[in-house]
Structure 1
Amino acid sequence: MVAGAWAIADVASMAGDTALSDTWRAYGNDLYERMEEHLYSQELNYWIDVVQGTNLRCEGRELIGMYPYRFDVGTNDTYIRGLEAGLTPEHFLTEFGPTTLEQTNPYYTAFKNSTNCCVWNGQSWPFSTSVYLQTLARLAREGLSDVATSEFFNQELEKYVLTNYKDGVPYTAESHFPTINMWSGDTSNHSEHYLHSTYFDNIFTNLLGVIPTFGDTLVLKPLVPSDWTHFAVENLPYHGTLLSMVWDQDGTHYGDCSAGFSIYSNGTKFHHQMDFQAVNVTLPFNTAEAAQRLAQQPQWQNILANPNSPHGLPAVTADWNLNVDGDNAPYPAWKMNDGLLWYDTTPDNRWTHNQSTVPYSSINITLPRPRKMRSLSLAIFADRERGGVVDCPDGIKVTDSRNRVVVFEKPWRDCVPNALNTVLFADPATVTAANKSTPESGFEIETDFLQVTLSDKLHYTTAVSEIQIWIAPNRGPRYELEDGLVGTFIGGFEGRATGMNGTIEHGGVTLGEGGWVEIADVRRSDSQAGRSGLTVTGGGRGTVEVGVNWLRNHTVSFDGATNKTVQVELLRGGNVVTVFQKRGRPFVDAVTVQ
């Protein structure tokens, strides 16, 4: 919160709003003073946990006490010496550490004394380690410590890399025993790929030293070991360009590169030096113009994703679901539009036609309202090359709500396994079962329903990880609330939910007790900031509050069908509008920017 307040102050200052900058700077400073008063142990010279409510002080070094420095909080010399004191084998350092609680603490245990996954009194957690490494890297880059040096950072990064393995292959679970090579939090079909460990940040930002900066410069402060003879980075997004970097010490490893260190922007070399040391160079383009070009690109929207799946709309169902025990299907159809996409066998996130008695299956897609679209994208899962029984479908047919065929391909020759396959719609008048649809550009249809029929290859079955429908963004002025995210999502774990307090019906949303609906990318016609009227179209009996960007709320009461307009402050670009139920069962249809 302290770092966030200071960052807001910096942005406000850049925008020329001195008063706002001063307000947030003072807020951050006040928070910091209270943080020092309540969360710092003078005895340990270290940040500690304090229990909310009782203010009970947890006296002892936890790895989380390393976090503030990474956010530019607690950076004076005294605090740095306090961080250094824990960087010994007696405190945090182990073979597969660091530990989350120092080993001298009476509550420390190298082995879990509970079957609960989330134990932080010693276990090594990749997420926690990643932030610890960010602090070490910052200290090493700035040369403020004789302990947290570049060599020490690389020692700890190597431990982190070796920890992220299982059975000799890369693997990240939840927690790891700090002294033995075994994961301690590793539940099947749940713990795999805990990539919140920000592995990539530690490689690109900390090891290779790509330091985010404002303006038209590129700054590198690498912590790469001196004995590295080569490495290459391709297409790293930075300030509206794709950067590639090649270090080839003697010019023999990469045949088409010169000896030394070269940097490319969109494939064109703009910097070269013989050694791999710190870099501070001017980029070969105007970053403000590049950012503006990116901002002007349409941000296409996947209108089929539903974070509330299997509840509400949009919805995906199928005429077959593998149901081994007759209770819960392990591969339900709603996984095809839950917004999650990967192609791993485990953890699974797919629907499959496996063990059906017929060689084809139909998938039904229902949207909240008719939408215009030109294509459909299917993420096809396949494990044939892993020794499994799933491969690309042999054929695909797509029909709309009028039972018109808009896609027919059999065989589906250009299907790519474990990839997102986009099929363009064809004019229904030109598609027959006798020939496949091969449009050069998608034919536009308007529908709230699609049926996808997939046929299996001989000896194989079919599986789909995700289905997506991408359309151009709605630029207003009217925004249909049934297109938004409906809440509240009550309970729920792995798809087993008890319900929602909002219902999409009659072209809008009826809100129950505590319900809400939220829609994003609401903007003025010129996309500029300013005060505007926001008309809420609704009905029923009840009261709602309308909030913009989770700031001030405006109360609107309905008594039958009506339009109510409130004055709101919209920010530049897209805004988030949330409608909260406060009384009764109001029906809300749309919001319109005046």
Structure 2
Amino acid sequence: MAALALAGGASARPALDSHRIAVERFGNDAPWYEGNIPFFESSDPAIDAVYYYRWSVVRAHQRDLGAQGYVTTEFLDDVSWQREPYATLNDATGFHLGETRWLRDRRYAADYVDYMYRGGNDRHFSDYMADAVYGRFLVDGDRGEAIRHLSVMRHIYRAWDERFDFTKGLYWIEPLLDATEYTISSIDASGGKDGFRGGDSFRPSINAYMFANARALSRLAALAGDQAMASEFAGRATALKTRVQDALWQPQFDHFVDRYKVSNEHVKYWEPIRGRELVGYVPWTFNLPDDDPRYAAAWKHLLSPAEFAGAAGLRTVGPGYEHYMRQYRYEGKAPECQWNGPVWPFQTTQVLLGLANLLNNYHQSAINRADYLRLLRQYTAMHSQEGRLDIEEDYHPDTGKPIVGLARSHHYFHSGYVDLILSGLVGIRPREDDVLEVNPLLPDATALGWFRVQDVPYHGHLISVTWDADGHHFGAQGLSIEIDGKRVAHRATVGSLTVPITRIAPKRIARPVNQAVQLIRSEFPKAEASSNNDPEALHDAIDGRIWFYPELANGWTPSPSPAQQWYAIDLG
């Protein structure tokens, strides 16, 4: 018998010393992590290092707004296109909630959702936030939190009708506002001269996002008992799925590709673009395509060195494109962001999420678990530059070195990683019902000798998952699941395990307010100090942002002096 459920549960002592790990990884900031994150260790130290580094990225991007709670930022410091004075952007909300849903303190995700649905989601960019809200519910099981903004979520969805072509049944968008400037559509629409703006197209990305958002709204409406809304959005999701498969799938490419909305002397309305882009895998990020070998054939291109498979990462466009890796845009002499070939962690994350869905939910032979693990390790390696960990904006597919590398680029929260480990590699597959499903994406027992993740919040419990290929590391061979410290299931081989889990109502979220946060520099609270009265340094100390990265200074430091130093805050 491959799987064994243990009646009544057997005691299991924590195998990871979370206090020791937190102190070693995070120093004086260890208490925050010890009280919040699931702890993970494996036989691959590179994955371990990046796992904890990416939790530090999550921590660094939690901005305290005082009475308005916490938000998650994309850039550590301010950029000109953010929403003022909060420093937020909406394009990476799916990644932000995908990571923070695994925190034990649910306030960070909850406050962020509240902020976004109380005016924060200005639709500056496309996003799949409604789907991410539902995805958060699948982890914490809090129905009330999931449906509290349902009417606003519906309003935002309908506002996107301004970019819906009712004759084609699809959404269109300018690639820049899809957070992907310099794509094939925008470059070719300019006649190859530029590509920062323009190139309006019916894209796989926005249509997959809107499919996922509609499906999520249908399911959330059902939770709220609103059957009319549930039916409306189920219908919209079904219609979009049909149109994406009928209109955006191109048999000559075996891929989902853009069709032009724009028509000019260079491109024509409704014509498909002239090549494959990595964005064509985004439909699988949301389980949109049918389980059909015709669609699964797209995944063979991901593995081809002549197409998406760069030596160091996944190209956003293949090298066969005429303007592949041509640099158009600069800040001074420094290259700026483009999506005509560079590796972007944003889309690499989406592809790995989609691949995890493919391997869990589809029947196909184009790609396998060994490919998943290799691509995950390739993405892991990209985080390390000359011995330091730093996730930046984009990378060269041949060398893995950052391309943009501007001051704003360091420790950029525009992608995911923790969620890839927990829901992909470890295989915790969040569900709405009272079942815990674990299916590690390991190709065989030797691919990763052992791992353990400990104290993962799920449906009001803390769960742990352990894999030990030969039993030498943790003392028991195989895959085990613990719920609240009791071992409840085990199998001797790598594979899927499911166990019942009774949902427990989560604890009420505590929301103490930090009164000493200055959002607007000219308003209270105000700071003064004995020395170093640089206004930005004074503001940085009370702007609600905390990080400890050497690449970007943060906070106030007194000027060298033998005199006693002080920093004071006037609350007004």
Q: TM-score, normalised by structure 2?
A: 0.56
Q: 2:543 — aligned with what?
A: 338
Match of 1:216, as an amino acid?
D
In 2, Cα distance between the equivalents of 1:4 and 1:362? 47
CA distance in 2 between partners of 1:38 and 1:274 (Å): 46
Residue 567 (structure 2) aligned to one of 362, 365, 370? 362
Query: Residues 321 and 332 of structure 1 are in contact (CA less than 8 Å); yes or no, is this contact kept in structure 2?
Result: no
C-alpha distance in 1, partners of 2:531/2:250?
Answer: 57
SS of equivalent to 1:183: coil
Shift of 1:80: 2.2
Deviations 1:449-481 (A, max 9, x none): 5xxxxxxxxxxxxxxxxxxxxxxxxxxxxxxxx
Contact kept, 8 Å, 1:110 with 1:123, in 2: the verdict is: no
For the 8 Å contact 1:309–1:337, the answer to whether it is kept is no
1:378-431 Cα deviation digits (max 9, x unpaired):
xxxxxxxxxxxxxxxxxxxxxxxxxxxxxxxxxxxxxxxxxxxxxxxxxxxxxx
Matched with 1:564 is none
Q: How far off is 1:177 after superposition?
A: 0.7
Q: Which of 222, 227, 231 is the equivalent residue of 2:440?
A: 222
Q: Give 2:379's aligned residue.
A: 160
- 20, 29, 35: which one aligns with 2:229: 20
In the alignment, is the contact (CA less than 8 A) between 1:139 and 1:149 conserved in 2? no
What is the letter of the counterpart of residue 17 of structure 1? D
More relative contact order in 1 or in 2 (CA 8 Å, sep 6+)? 2
Q: Give runs of aligned pairs for residues 508-523 of structure 1, distance below 5 A.
A: none
Q: Matched residues in 1 for 2:442 and 2:517: separation?
A: 41
**Could you tell me how far 1:240 is from its partner in structure 2?**
1.5
1:322 and 2:541 correspond: no
Change (3 A) 1:347 1:266: farther
The answer to which of 271-280 and 351-360 deviates more is 351-360
Q: In structure 2, what is the equivalent of residue 68 of structure 1?
A: 283
Contact 1:110 1:179 in 2 (8 A): no
Instruction: Classify 1:86/1:250 alpha carbon distance in 2 versus 1 (closer, same or farther; 3 Å).
Output: closer
- When the two chains are superposed, the root-mean-square deviation of aligned CA atoms in Å is 2.7
Q: Is the 8 A contact 2:278 2:317 kept in 1?
A: yes
Please list, as runs of the form range in 1=range in 2, the aligned pairs for 1:305-316 lying within 5 A after superposition: 305-306=517-518, 308-313=519-524, 315-316=525-526
8 Å CA contact retained: 2:291, 2:362: no
In structure 2, how many angstroms separate the alpha carbons of the residues matched to 1:169 and 1:278?
A: 36
Match of 2:257 in 1: 48
Kindly tell me: are residues 120 and 356 of structure 1, through their superposed partners in 2, closer, same or farther at Cα, counting changes over 3 Å? farther
Return closer, same or farther for 1:8/1:168 CA change in 2, 3 Å cut-off. same
Equivalent position of 1:235 in the other structure: 455
Matched residue, 2:471: 251
Q: Contact 2:396–2:402 (CA<8 Å) still a contact in 1?
A: yes
User: 3-state DSSP class of the match of 1:351?
Assistant: coil
Q: Could you say what secondary structure the match of 1:364 adopts?
A: strand
**Does residue 101 of the first structure (1) align with residue 101 of the second (2)?**
no
After superposition, the Cα gap between the structure-2 partners of 1:321 and 1:47, relative to the gap in structure 1 and judged at 3 Å, is farther
Q: CA deviation at 1:278?
A: 0.7
Aligned residue among 312, 328, 352 for 1:133: 352
Quote how far apart the aligned CAs of 1:40 are. 4.1
Counterpart CA distance in 2 for 1:250 and 1:80 is: 34
Task: Write the letter of the residue equivalent to 1:248.
Answer: D
Q: State the Cα deviation string for residues 352-387 of structure 1 (Å, max 9, x = none).
A: 223356321122142xxxxxxxxxxxxxxxxxxxxx
Q: Structure 1 residues 22, 276: CA separation in 2 closer, same or farther (over 3 Å shift)?
A: same
Alignment of 1:298 onto 2:510: yes
Instruction: Note closer, same or farther for the CA distance 1:357–1:35 as it changes in structure 2 (3 Å cut).
Output: farther
State how far apart, in whole Å, the 2-side matches of 1:235 and 1:107 are: 48
Instruction: Give 1:197's match in structure 2, choosing from 415, 422, 431.
Output: 415
More helix by share: 2
* Helix, strand or coil at the partner of 2:414: helix
In 2, Cα distance between the equivalents of 1:43 and 1:249?
A: 43
C-alpha displacement of 1:141? 2.2
> Structure 1 residues 127 and 322 mapped into 2: Cα distance closer, same or farther (>3 Å)?
farther
Q: Which amino acid aligns with 1:322?
A: N
Q: 1:67 to 1:304 in 2, by over 3 A?
A: farther
- Using the TM superposition, give the Cα deviation of residue 207 of structure 1 relative to its aligned residue in structure 2, in angstroms: 1.0
Higher mean Cα deviation, 65-74 or 52-61?
Answer: 52-61
Map 1:448-487 to 2 at 5 A: none
> What is the distance in 1 between the residues matched to 2:546 and 2:260?
38
Alignment of 1:136-147 (within 5 A): 136-147=355-366
Q: What residue in structure 1 maps to residue 428 of structure 2?
A: 210
Unaligned runs of 5+ in 2: 1-209, 264-268
Larger strand fraction of residues: 1
Q: Give the Cα separation in 2 of the matches to 1:311 and 1:39.
A: 50
Alignment of 1:402-441 (within 5 A): none
1:36/1:249 Cα in 2 relative to 1: closer, same or farther (>3 Å)? Answer: closer
Aligned pair in 2 of structure 1 residues 168, 319: CA closer, same or farther (>3 Å)? Answer: closer
Aligned counterparts of 2:383 and 2:232: Cα–Cα separation in 1: 43
The separation in 2 between residues aligned to 1:34 and 1:109, in whole angstroms, is: 31
CA distance in 1, matches of 2:506, 2:358: 36
CA distance in 2: counterparts of 1:363 and 1:116, whole angstroms: 41
How many residues were matched structurally?
351
Supply the distance in 1 between the matched residues of 2:450 and 2:417 (Cα, whole angstroms): 20
Alpha-carbon offset, residue 125 of structure 1: 1.2
Say if 1:322 and 1:355, in contact at 8 Å, map to a contact too: no
Q: Is this contact kept in 2: 1:111–1:123, CA < 8 A?
A: no
Larger radius of gyration: 1
Alpha-carbon distance, 1:42 to partner: 4.6
Deviation per residue, 1:67-115 (Å, 9 max, x gap)? 1111122234222223434431111001112101112111212878754
Instruction: Report the AA paired with residue 423 of structure 2.
Output: T
**Conserved in 1, the CA contact under 8 Å of 2:530 and 2:565?**
no
Residue by residue, what CA displacement relative to the aligned partner does 1:491-545 show, whole Å, maximum 9, x if unpaired? Answer: xxxxxxxxxxxxxxxxxxxxxxxxxxxxxxxxxxxxxxxxxxxxxxxxxxxxxxx
* 3-state SS, counterpart of residue 297 of structure 2: helix
Residues 322 and 59 of structure 1: is their aligned pair in 2 closer, same or farther, counting only changes over 3 Å? farther
Counterparts in 2 of 1:358 and 1:13: CA distance versus 1, 3 Å: same
Which secondary structure does the structure 2 equivalent of 1:211 belong to? coil
Separation in structure 2 between the aligned mates of residue 66 and residue 332 of structure 1, nearest angstrom: 44
**Higher mean C-alpha displacement, 136-145 vs 118-127:** 136-145
3-state DSSP class of the match of 1:58? Answer: coil
TM-score under structure 1 length normalisation: 0.54
Cα distance change, pair 15–252 in 1 and its aligned pair in 2 (3 A): same
Any stretches of 5+ residues in structure 1 without a counterpart? 367-448, 450-594
- SS where residue 463 of structure 2 aligns? strand
By how many angstroms is 1:205 displaced? 0.8
- The structural deviation recorded for 1:202 is 1.1
Instruction: Tell me what 2:496 maps to.
Output: 278
CA contact 1:110–1:177 (8 Å) conserved in 2: no
Letter of the 1:253 counterpart: H
Question: Is 2:489–2:497's contact at 8 Å kept on the other side of the alignment?
Answer: no
Whole-Å separation in 1 of the counterparts to 2:262 and 2:562: 59
- C-alpha distance in structure 2 between counterparts of 1:53 and 1:97, whole Å: 31
Which residue of 2 is the match for residue 484 of structure 1?
Answer: none
Q: Equivalent residues in 2 for 1:70-85 (5 A)?
A: 70-77=285-292, 78-85=294-301
Is 1:59 aligned to 2:252, yes or no? no
> 2:106 — aligned with what?
none
